Amino acid sequence: MHADQVLRKRPAIPALATALCAVLLAQPVQAAEPVNPPRPAAADAVNASKPAEWRPLDPEHTLYMELPGGRVVIELAPAFAPAHAANIRALVREGYFDGLAVLRSHDNYVAQWGDPDEKNPRPLKTAKARLAGEFTMPMSNDKHFTPLPDRDGYAAQVGHSNGFPSARDPKTGRAWLAHCYGMVGVGRDVDSDSANGSSLYAVTGHAPRHLDRNITVVGRVVSGMPLLSSLPRGTGPLGFYEQPGQQVPIKAVRLAADVPEAERSKLEVMRTDSASFKAVAEAQRNRGGPWTKVPAGYIELCNVTIPVREQGK
């Protein structure tokens, strides 16, 4: 994803753009406007990464949500929400979500799924009905935090914890996952302990960071976001679908570990404590090349790409 391709007037053909850049960069630049030096792009950092800088998804903590349009892959974050991750795994193994639906598509906010039947809700089996909120956890439990140098308005410190955008406050000693695009949280009622993981949402708009520390964040969509983000918006209050026919049926949600190996999505995530990840963030913080006139010199937490790819690609 080169910054100099992103908002051209016409579709850029990557091979052509690369050739064009090579020509442009090889020539003396005579333009009067400021010249932004060439710098590695995020894609260059990904291409230069070593295999050890990637980790596969753990099949015991990876969900496949099968929608009519395809598969949404969710990586759970048991380090931050152990009780919710365990309960969701129990729900999934009981087939709880199979046949339920995406109930809500709220523009610039969330897509939310769960049980459409309020009058006769699907009973739980072994899963617990109420869990204490896991809104934050002790910083000492976070063994993989890599800080970003960039300041943040919502938290004293932000960075990444083993593939998830996260934040922390040394004064309180607490750490939490940040509500960036694609993050998955657990719907709750007023009480902090009113959730159990049977109602989930993914962020589909600008990061609603005010939800941080107010709700349990349980994971991240690592593949298939467009299946949720491009759903028609619900026209009811808060983006709920008003007619059952508008709801999007969930064929099944399965743990990757329970899916035959041949049917699994073979994805790997760049380690967020790696040198290549640091290079990705820097490439986005200070974009190089002739398209960018003024590098931002800063990157906001939720704008940092966490690279995901097919294994061995």
φ/ψ (deg, to 5) at 51? -55, -35
> Which one of 122, 168, 188, 220 is in contact with a copy of itself (CB under 8 A)?
188
Q: Is 165 in the site for a copy of itself (CB under 8 A)?
A: no
Residue with Cβ nearer a copy of itself (53 or 195): 195
Among 56, 266, 293, 310, binds a copy of itself (CB under 8 A): 293
**Which CB sits closer to a copy of itself, 146 or 303?**
303
d(CA 268, CA 143): 20
How many Å separate Cα 201 from the centre of its chain?
Answer: 12
Q: Measured on CA atoms in the order 144, 148, 152, 157, is the torsion positive or negative?
A: positive
Closest residue by Cα to residue 283 from 38, 50, 25: 38
Query: Toward a copy of itself, which CB reaches closer, 163 or 185?
Result: 185
CA angle 96, 101, 102 (to 5 degrees): 125
DSSP 8-class letter at 124: P
Q: Which stretch binds a copy of itself (CB under 8 A): 8-16, 44-52, 138-146, 274-282?
A: 8-16
H-assigned helices in the chain: 14-26, 42-47, 82-93, 225-229, 275-285
Shortest Å, Cβ 140 to a copy of itself: 20
Please, which residues have CB within 8 angstroms of residue 263's CB and are 6 or more apart in sequence?
none
Which one, 4 or 53, has the nearer CB to a copy of itself?
4
Using the contact rule CB under 8 A, the part of the chain among 3-11, 46-54, 86-94, 256-264 near a copy of itself is: 3-11
Size of the site for a copy of itself (CB under 8 A): 85
Residue of 207, 85, 79, 218 whose CA lies nearest to 155 = 207
Q: What is the smallest separation between the CB atom of 190 and a copy of itself, expressed in angstroms? A: 5
Which one, 137 or 180, has the nearer CB to a copy of itself? Answer: 180
- Does 195 interact with a copy of itself (rule: CB under 8 A)? yes
Amino acid sitting at position 26? A
Site for a copy of itself in 202-261 (CB under 8 A): 205-215, 225-226, 229-233, 236-238, 240
Least separation in angstroms between CB 181 and a copy of itself: 5
Q: Which of 44, 98, 150, 282 binds a copy of itself (CB under 8 A)?
A: 150
Residues 258-287 within binding reach of a copy of itself (CB under 8 A): 284, 287
Query: What's the 3-state SS for 25-44?
Result: HHCCCCCCCCCCCCCCCHHH
What amino acid is encoded at 303 in this protein? N
* Rg for the chain, CA atoms, rounded: 21
DSSP 3-state assignment of 5? helix
Is residue 134 a contact residue for a copy of itself (CB under 8 A)? Answer: no
| Subset of residues 70 to 109 that bind a copy of itself, contact rule: CB under 8 A | 103-109
Does the footprint of a copy of itself cover residue 180 (CB under 8 A)? yes
**Tokens at 85, concatenated:** 């991750």
Q: Which of 192, 264, 278, 309 binds a copy of itself (CB under 8 A)?
A: 192
| Contact residue for a copy of itself among 26, 140, 143, 189 (CB under 8 A) | 189
